[in-house]
Amino acid sequence: MTWAFKRQIFYLAILILTVSIFAYLIINPIVNKAPTCVDGLKNGTETGVDCGGSCARACIAQVDEVAVLWTRSFRVVPGRYNAVAYLENQNRNVAVNRINYKFRFADANNIYIGKREGSTFIPPSGKFAIFEPGIDIGHSIPVYTSFEFTEMPQWVQVSQEKINQLQLLISNITLTGEETNPFLSATIKNNSLFTIPDIRVVAILYDVNHNAISTSSTYLDSLGGERAQDLSFTWPEPFSNKIVEKEIIPLYNIFSVKLK
């Protein structure tokens, strides 16, 4: 082997080593990149593909569907109704920031007479209500009311710490004027240290058989930390049955609350 040939082999080895180093520096970060929640793989602490574990998104396969407990329409005045879907999220630490829904109405002959669509959030863990006011369906009477979500929910994990810190309490519930012009009053208190915006409060009244007789709703722009505010609900007509139970449900989107 000549000296010139040995030198060529040496230079070739240097070239191969240099190319190998550059190839390693380029390929290694791609092949061994850190797991993320948007890489299309089940890796890291994930319990599904890009969901569960340390990812914000919850895995659909590990979340129960929202239960529709009942859906009804309630007459406010002739030709105008409020519709309510009473639901339960049985999942402890997941919620939905926004989801579309639809109410459908049918008369006593089960003939379609109208619909109402909207969007809402799903709070974590517990029963809640979706309220649609002032539905005008002319001279028809909505005997049958159905409710459905019109898209798949995008479930997001919520820490138990945040759930525990945000508490709205209802007290001093009083109903008067049942046989003339019903008036329901109550007090809502934000028992947390944080301002809660866009609070929808739904009132549902029940008879002795726990049948929902009527419903109403009010809205608060926000409620500051450790603040209380009076609530009032009115009805233009007396109730058809004696009211024995009053349920007031405060609702807010937990993702809209920022913890300091």
Rounded to an integer, the average pLDDT of 196-213 is 96
- Fold match, 60-157 / 160-256: yes
Rounded to an integer, the average pLDDT of 190-204 is 96
Rounded to an integer, the average pLDDT of 167-194 is 95
Unique residue bearing structure tokens 């993702």: 255
Topology adopted by domain 60-157: Immunoglobulin-like (2.60.40)
Burial of 5 (0-12, 13-18, 19+ CB in 10 A): exposed
CATH class assigned to 160-256 = mainly beta
pTM > 0.85: yes or no: no
pLDDT (tens digit per residue) in 13-71: 565 666 565 555 566 555 555 667 867 788 877 788 878 888 888 888 889 999 999 99
Q: What does the pLDDT read at residue 1?
A: 56
Question: DSSP readout, 222-246?
Answer: EE-TT-EEEEEEE-SS--SS---EE
DSSP single-letter state for residue 78: T
Burial of 178 (0-12, 13-18, 19+ CB in 10 A): middle
- Measured CA to CA, the distance from residue 148 to residue 131 in angstroms comes to 13
- Measured CA to CA, the distance from residue 125 to residue 90 in angstroms comes to 6
Rounded to an integer, the average pLDDT of 197-208 is 97
Ordered by start, the domain boundaries in the chain are 60-157, 160-256
| 33 φ, ψ (degrees, to nearest 5) | -70, 150
- Measured CA to CA, the distance from residue 151 to residue 146 in angstroms comes to 16
Instruction: Identify the three-state secondary structure at position 17.
Output: helix
